[in-house]
Structure 1
Amino acid sequence: MEAGPARTTSLSSTYFDAPDLRLHKAGVALRIREIDGGRRLQTVKTRGDGLFARGEWESAVERREPDLNSLKGTPAAGLFSADEPFDALFTVAVERTVRQVTRGRSRIEIAIDRGRIFKSADPVSAIAVGEVELELLAGAPQDLFALAADIMAAAPLRLGVASKSARGHALLEGRLNDVANAQPVPFGDEPSAADAFRAIANACLVQLRMNEDVMLARRDSDALHQTRVAIRRLRSAFSLFGPLLRHARTDELKAELKRLSEPLGPARDLDVFLAETLADERERRPDESGLLNLEKQLQTQKAKAYDGALATLRSDEWRRLVVELAGWINVGAWLRSRDEQIARQIAGPARDFAATVLEKRYRQVRRKSRRITKITDEKRHDARISAKKLRYGSEFFADLFADKPKRERKRVVFVKAVKRLQGRLGALNDVATGHELMADAAQTGRSRSAAFAAGVTAADGDARADALLKEAKETRKALMAAEPFWR
């Protein structure tokens, strides 16, 4: 790798919007950047794919306020009238050190930013900025991700998923370090199957990283849950798009993701058991003193489980895996399949691919959930996994089938039905997991009263399973009655 000379400049970028934040709501950012030497640049940016590629329109301006004439031809054009005021929202002030490097056959700019983001109305209220940004100037995107992997091997960095604009708005709205739920995935016009996979998988990575940061800042049960949701959604995306991703590296990354994320499971299981099952049991049996001892025992186990989960998230293996996943999703060899049939599917319409996948997953759920009250726990678990993938697929592909209000109404009814079935099967799985926890607690309990309480709790859970089975049967009927929205 060859590196050019470094140069450092001071940058001050103020972000503007209307009082009703219409640009932000439309996924558009408008800023004016002041650079050493007195130059000013007005820039309009869009969210793009939500992670790496963003639309950008730049023009030189004279003043420190937005120039409406310079907005022509940008996504911000037409959103403001000539006499409307702009509000200065926040400013990003950094020292930027830039160096160009040659990696393989590519030219890449490395920008290191150090500084802060502060509210325009309250400059004292600020958050720190410290990041390394890579931009491909010429060449192959694979070289950029390879360079990112090298940098992360040398320094304890993490993949950044929140733009400075997004962080400024979070500061403005008091949402810093908030838990991130899954969001709808928007697609561009006439997306290919490859476009759809990248948009979906990138959205999963964004949710994963945002909740990972919350977990690293504090032990938050909701952040742990949403981190696991993001991982499950990502694994489901790999499964749903499996026919397009046939490659040894895909299998390796899936196996690594499963292996490294396993320590998060016990912590979540204990969270659910303590907050729901044991809380209900204490309300049901207020005079059972052993339940308090059982709770103390499980809280100790939970603390250790969180230690294991955080050790995973802090590990070099985990940091590198996230970047490797990002590289594979966006520029991996799966995009250049030598199989002509797969190559046609990759380049083909996302909607056609989605309809085929959803139909296949729907039939799997229908087949695996037959005689749901009679099948084994293992088969019901398998049916739950299939229902989960059908639900995630229905949510992932929503934008592809939002062309008609009637179809959207059908989708809402269908997703609600599959979500209910998944919920009942999930509750049955929680009973089975709780049974295992109670068996272990009875054997390892520090007191006889805790062991006795564990046995009673397990028995009550088994009794609850009968009602859940009946509910699962009814929710399956409702799903079979719901009309598949993709047909």
Structure 2
Amino acid sequence: MTAERDGAQQESNVADALTAIKAKPIELSQDDTLEGAAAAIFSGALEHFLANVPILQSLSAPESVHQMRVALRRLRAAIGLLRPAVTGPALETAAKRAKALAAVLGAARDWDVFGLALSGGPREAIGDDPSFHALTDALETLREQAYRAAHEAVSSDETARFVDDLRLAIARRDWEAAPEMRAPGSASDFAVHALTDLRKRLLKKSKGLATLSADERHRVRIALKKARYGAEFFESLFDDRKDSRAYLHALGEMQDQLGLFNDMEVANGLLDQIDAQTPEAARASNFIRGWFAHAARQGVAHAESSEKRLKKLAPFWT
């Protein structure tokens, strides 16, 4: 049964990769107003989210859940980044709704990530142990519950209102914008200052990265995401795409590395849930906690190299 299950999972992963839809690049021009750029960025995030909804509804594809979460994070990051110049109740409501929806999707995504983490080293190390089978059975039950909640949330009237209200706000430009942000070229001017500020915050938060606590590392990861999303939003305004690609690639790699730390922290919470309802999984649970703790200690060297790399990373917008 295990071999059949693994084979089915591999087929599912292939189908998932083929169907989930990633964000499309934001195409801006040098003479764009910031208000026009804002409309394009908000629209891009909304369409990214909507493109993956039918995939979740028809296939329950894990990657579609991930892409919807990314879309909602990009939307919230854009609203926050642009808030000094473009703001209003409609955008703040959209940000709150996006956060609530992302939390439900995040619960499903956490079980997917945890399951993938177990399918490699831990499965091979613990072998054919009854406690591991009890753990994975409990994991699948909890994952199915999280996916039912995700389906209900995405199909809910609240999500329909979120989509309709945001789409209308973008069409009507239902926000307050500083007069200078309606001037040609204001998007480029804003981008230079905004990306510089995001980089400064990231450098400050990541100082001494290898010695930071789990909460502090999480804040660095959030700063990395904001810096990366900001660079993606405004990349097309600057000529040197080679430098911008290198910058984004480096931030993405560092984000992924910090994501491993975060996944281990999340895994402990998921194991607490499994332990509470499945005492038979205790032996495997304790083993996996130790496995992840060892892996986290090994990640210190990566954190040190990431901090050095970040300091050397030249901005592409200057």
TM-score normalised according to structure 2 size: 0.89
Three-state SS of the structure 2 residue aligned to 1:397 is helix
One-letter amino acid matched to 1:332 = R
One-letter amino acid matched to 1:343 = P
Pairing 1:351–2:177 present? no
Pairing 1:384–2:215 present? no
How many residues are aligned here? 300
Are 2:26 and 2:40, in contact at CA under 8 Å, matched by a contact in 1? Answer: yes
Question: CA offset at residue 287 of structure 1?
Answer: 4.3
Corresponding position of 2:304? 473
Three-state SS of the structure 1 residue aligned to 2:71 is helix
Corresponding position of 1:428? 261
Three-state SS of the structure 1 residue aligned to 2:305 is helix
Corresponding position of 1:361? 198
CA distance in 1, matches of 2:182, 2:206: 31
CA distance in 1, matches of 2:249, 2:158: 37
Are 1:261 and 1:312, in contact at CA under 8 Å, matched by a contact in 2? Answer: no
Are 1:410 and 1:485, in contact at CA under 8 Å, matched by a contact in 2? Answer: yes
Corresponding position of 2:246? 413
Question: CA offset at residue 379 of structure 1?
Answer: 1.4
Are 2:94 and 2:166, in contact at CA under 8 Å, matched by a contact in 1? Answer: yes
How does 1:101-120 map onto structure 2 within 5 Å?
A: none
Structure 2: state its 5+ residue gaps: 1-17
Identity %: 29
Question: CA offset at residue 343 of structure 1?
Answer: 2.4
One-letter amino acid matched to 1:288 = D
Question: CA offset at residue 193 of structure 1?
Answer: 0.8
CA distance in 2, matches of 1:462, 1:439: 15
Are 1:211 and 1:226, in contact at CA under 8 Å, matched by a contact in 2? Answer: yes
Note the alpha carbon deviations across 1:124-162, whole angstroms, 9 max, x for none: xxxxxxxxxxxxxxxxxxxxxxxxxxxxxxxxxxxxxxx
Are 2:108 and 2:150, in contact at CA under 8 Å, matched by a contact in 1? Answer: yes
Are 1:244 and 1:346, in contact at CA under 8 Å, matched by a contact in 2? Answer: no
How does 1:13-412 map onto structure 2 within 5 Å?
A: 178-188=19-29, 190-334=31-175, 336-337=176-177, 342-347=178-183, 349-401=186-238, 403=239, 407-412=240-245
Three-state SS of the structure 2 residue aligned to 1:426 is helix
CA distance in 2, matches of 1:371, 1:198: 38
CA distance in 1, matches of 2:290, 2:272: 11
Are 2:126 and 2:284, in contact at CA under 8 Å, matched by a contact in 1? Answer: no
Evaluate the alpha carbon distance shift between residue 204 and residue 250 of structure 1 in structure 2; reply closer, same or farther with a 3 A threshold: closer
Question: CA offset at residue 476 of structure 1?
Answer: 2.0
Task: Tell me which protein shows more helix as a share of its residues.
Answer: 2
- Structure 1 segments of 4 or more deviating over 6 A? none
CA distance in 2, matches of 1:253, 1:220: 25
Moved more, 242-251 or 304-313: 242-251
Note the alpha carbon deviations across 1:182-230, whole angstroms, 9 max, x for none: 1211124611111111111111111110101111122111111111111
CA distance in 1, matches of 2:316, 2:297: 32
CA distance in 2, matches of 1:378, 1:245: 30
Three-state SS of the structure 2 residue aligned to 1:379 is helix
Note the alpha carbon deviations across 1:360-385, whole angstroms, 9 max, x for none: 00001000011112222111111100
Note the alpha carbon deviations across 1:313-361, whole angstroms, 9 max, x for none: 1111111111111122332332x44xxxx22134352111111110000
CA distance in 2, matches of 1:192, 1:380: 36
Note the alpha carbon deviations across 1:252-292, whole angstroms, 9 max, x for none: 22112212332111100000110124543102322433212
One-letter amino acid matched to 1:384 = R
Question: CA offset at residue 238 of structure 1?
Answer: 1.0
Three-state SS of the structure 2 residue aligned to 1:183 is coil
Moved more, 196-205 or 382-391: 196-205
Note the alpha carbon deviations across 1:374-414, whole angstroms, 9 max, x for none: 2221111111001001111111211111x2xxx32221221
Corresponding position of 2:10? none
CA distance in 2, matches of 1:265, 1:290: 27
Larger relative contact order (C-alpha < 8 A, sep ≥ 6)? 2
Bigger Rg, structure 1 or 2 = 1
Evaluate the alpha carbon distance shift between residue 250 and residue 204 of structure 1 in structure 2; reply closer, same or farther with a 3 A threshold: closer
TM-score normalised according to structure 1 size: 0.59
CA distance in 2, matches of 1:280, 1:198: 45
Corresponding position of 2:283? 452
One-letter amino acid matched to 1:424 = Q
Are 1:442 and 1:452, in contact at CA under 8 Å, matched by a contact in 2? Answer: no
CA distance in 1, matches of 2:171, 2:205: 33
CA distance in 2, matches of 1:329, 1:411: 28
Three-state SS of the structure 1 residue aligned to 2:23 is coil
Three-state SS of the structure 2 residue aligned to 1:333 is coil
Structure 1: state its 5+ residue gaps: 1-176
CA distance in 2, matches of 1:415, 1:246: 27
